[in-house]
Structure 1
């Protein structure tokens, strides 16, 4: 999970929003015949393979860290205030209502004061003396404000001075200790690279050199450059730029980004090179990464709010990772909490289905199948077996059609009702699937005897998010057999629409629509 410096302002967040890259009714990318996400990836150079095989830990969002720090400190201040009240005030005065009001007000003012003294930045979080000295300034300021409020409202005699002293001293000590522990964690995560954004520069030569110099000169940059990718091989794009190697072409970058963690793609080309920039974006938009256009050398200047910044270097936001920062956390919680509840509710039904399968035909009740998941990675999904054991088709070379003799009697029923998908709840809890998302497709799934990615350009853009048990395409009737090109084109269209409009409420809406859809839209499910 990586964090981008800002959300885009007025820029499309994915290729589905960009007319020049959106799949049209024929399934081809408007204005381009470039095939993205090819199943036969271009081989990487030895240097690119070396970089891709380096051990890289998952990223941690600094936005989430600072958000969690605010919540913890808010609760810590409240806890210390109430503890002091219980220990000192309660035995003599009980629980006067003014104390809780003062505690809540003090906690809220504290978070605003800490924000004002700038101790929620990643740079401040990793220090000891600097953040705790600013913490003390903010903490003293909050109690000064509380004292002024009590003075003007003539409430000074309503509060115990001993309680106030305990809250102030123990509260500051608790906050300082929390900050020390957090600083140790942040330093550890910084050393392991988990708070860095791994970036690749697209386009070499002098523009890339100037960009690297600007990033290196910026004191607050969280960027670690992995290398450079450029289609040119002449003297305008040398093999090494400011110490960073050219790892390959733009086409090879797609394969590189699927082998290792890449958080950010920086296009180091001037806006005037419109044609070349668009060609690159048509290739790269299928990746689940932030894409930024370097703007520090452009002669055309927009308002400051039109840019995002890495340190002091301005960028134009082109695409954003679809689900990042707090969205990622909310999606993770939704899958785990709702998925656990649904699994518990479904266990009796799953037991009956497994028994029916065992009684109907010999062989295991469960069937495992390799499918494409997030960022085109291979995942293994569970299903109830719906075919005769000796005729199972793990790679889906042949589509299941109406009256298919390979499907058992029980298999026809569970496929029609999608009960065969229930074991995928285990995949959700294991992390390979989400409850809601584009359906994962089998390795050799076809539409009208053509592989899906040959029917729809930009097909692999649907893999920018984790696949799901149910999805926006399925509840709109696009499930089951894909015997025509139109069916897979419509699936991809709805999948991309889901990615662009994702929210937890949208996931919940799709989940609630799924049972109704299964009962009313049975066409194509055999």
Structure 2
């Protein structure tokens, strides 16, 4: 597989770039707002810094920021369309200044204001912000091109499609097939979709269902080209210059939700590592003293966007019996498990090194648990039991999850054992909220010691 990776399209993660641009522009706008008012105070009152101008800027800034966010001043279109963002800036300044004047009049505090400084400050602030946005858009267009999105167009044997600024990949030439029975192949397709904001597939009609099944598991917007639907313009379609695509998938979380979830993960994992560091050190020492083997067991598993990652656990089995593929589930009297390993599994302490996976960004505190590639339910591999299995990877895998607090853990002797977990995972993805994550974490403390944790 490593020999094929060099053929992957090399693209910048524009989503990260968009987030950085929003933050930089937000901070810059606040700085320019203060600068505009301080310049007004210097010119009109002959004071620098002017206490009056500073007070007016401090009162206006939170109102402006609130209105600007609602006016989409920090949205994707504002990174590419200077006319749009300049108008939105003007509206945000006008509305926020009107609200400030109303509040100060209502509370009879206008005597401490200078109308001339306020008017000049607004004018300077608008000029500075408009100039900044014009320059920023020019610079971003030079850096990113005409669009701030990465679009992958997969030519999989369907109608010829020409979408400007998309990254074109011949699926056959790159060995990409809509097959869901091989995790290595699924991982390869997932790597082609890394850093993409959307993926468009042009394929024959009889392959659309297979491609749609793959796209639903990517966690990004997936589309399938349809010549038949090109002239309809119905809801759920995206119209391009020379074709129409049917939207079949989209990421389960929006940008703000992903930022919120990632921020919570980093904060919680960092705190947990500090608090639990004595336990981690003692556990590592006990594992080492038990048989002298490595402390950490590393295993390849399928993660977010159907891409492989290396999961970390305290080693609980003897070195000679380590099961890299996970084809054999641990049983109650499993002879492979060491004495200390049995205790670690029963108390779930063996999972704690995954806090480092969370900080690295390939896991989350809460999410569908990542399964070993060779895991079976009954006599079938997990993805052979239910065709929806790959959809559980639309979010990052978690240290704990909804399935775990409902008791769906341990060996999967029957297909129903996998089905119960899958239903819980898909429910979690469909109904995510930060408060639900917090509730799942709280509930996890009650099931860390579990009768099926072996």
Q: TM-score range by the shorter chain?
A: 0.7 to 0.9
Superposed displacement of residue 355, structure 1: 2.7
Residue 79 of structure 2 corresponds to which residue in structure 1? 125
- 1:60 is paired with a residue of what secondary structure? helix
1:436 and 1:470 in contact (8 A); partners too: yes
2:289 paired with 1:377: no
Superposed displacement of residue 202, structure 1: 5.9
Superposed displacement of residue 402, structure 1: 0.9
Residue 524 of structure 1 corresponds to which residue in structure 2? 452
Return closer, same or farther for 1:143/1:362 CA change in 2, 3 Å cut-off.
closer
Residue 136 of structure 2 corresponds to which residue in structure 1? 182
Give per-residue Cα distances to partners, 1:381-431, cap 9 Å, x unaligned: 211121223332232233211121221221111101100001110111112
2:303 and 2:393 in contact (8 A); partners too: yes
TM-score when scaled to structure 2? 0.77
Q: Distance in 2 between matches of 1:189 and 1:424?
A: 36
Residue 286 of structure 1 corresponds to which residue in structure 2? 217
2:76 and 2:148 in contact (8 A); partners too: no
- 2:270 is paired with a residue of what secondary structure? helix
- 1:370 is paired with a residue of what secondary structure? strand
Superposed displacement of residue 488, structure 1: 1.9
Gaps of 5+ in 2: none
1:369 and 1:381 in contact (8 A); partners too: yes
Give per-residue Cα distances to partners, 1:438-493, cap 9 Å, x unaligned: 11122322333543223333322222222111111111111122233221222222
- 1:516 is paired with a residue of what secondary structure? coil
TM-score when scaled to structure 1? 0.68
Return closer, same or farther for 1:73/1:107 CA change in 2, 3 Å cut-off.
farther
Q: Distance in 2 between matches of 1:227 and 1:464?
A: 23
2:342 paired with 1:387: no
Deviates more, 1:479-488 or 1:84-93: 84-93
2:190 paired with 1:258: yes
Return closer, same or farther for 1:147/1:82 CA change in 2, 3 Å cut-off.
closer
Superposed displacement of residue 348, structure 1: 1.6
2:356 paired with 1:412: no
Return closer, same or farther for 1:181/1:335 CA change in 2, 3 Å cut-off.
farther
Deviates more, 1:337-346 or 1:450-459: 450-459
Return closer, same or farther for 1:310/1:79 CA change in 2, 3 Å cut-off.
farther
Residue 204 of structure 1 corresponds to which residue in structure 2? 158
2:287 paired with 1:357: yes
- The 5 Å alignment of 1:508-519 reads 508-519=438-449
Residue 23 of structure 1 corresponds to which residue in structure 2? none
Superposed displacement of residue 332, structure 1: 1.8
Residue 358 of structure 2 corresponds to which residue in structure 1? 428
Q: Distance in 2 between matches of 1:441 and 1:147?
A: 55
Return closer, same or farther for 1:256/1:472 CA change in 2, 3 Å cut-off.
same
- The 5 Å alignment of 1:265-344 reads 265-266=199-200, 277-278=208-209, 280-282=211-213, 284-292=215-223, 298=229, 301=232, 316-344=246-274
- 1:368 is paired with a residue of what secondary structure? strand
Match of 1:224 among 144, 152, 166: 166
2:187 and 2:308 in contact (8 A); partners too: no
Q: Distance in 2 between matches of 1:93 and 1:124?
A: 33
1:61 and 1:325 in contact (8 A); partners too: no
Residue 8 of structure 2 corresponds to which residue in structure 1? 53
Superposed displacement of residue 60, structure 1: 1.5
Q: Which has the higher contact order (CA 8 A, sep 6+)?
A: 1
1:202 and 1:250 in contact (8 A); partners too: no
Q: Distance in 2 between matches of 1:225 and 1:92?
A: 53
Return closer, same or farther for 1:396/1:255 CA change in 2, 3 Å cut-off.
closer
Superposed displacement of residue 267, structure 1: 6.0
Q: Distance in 1 between matches of 2:265 and 2:154?
A: 31
Number of equivalent positions = 443
Return closer, same or farther for 1:289/1:97 CA change in 2, 3 Å cut-off.
closer
Gaps of 5+ in 1: 1-42, 217-222, 231-244
2:109 paired with 1:167: no
- 1:505 is paired with a residue of what secondary structure? helix
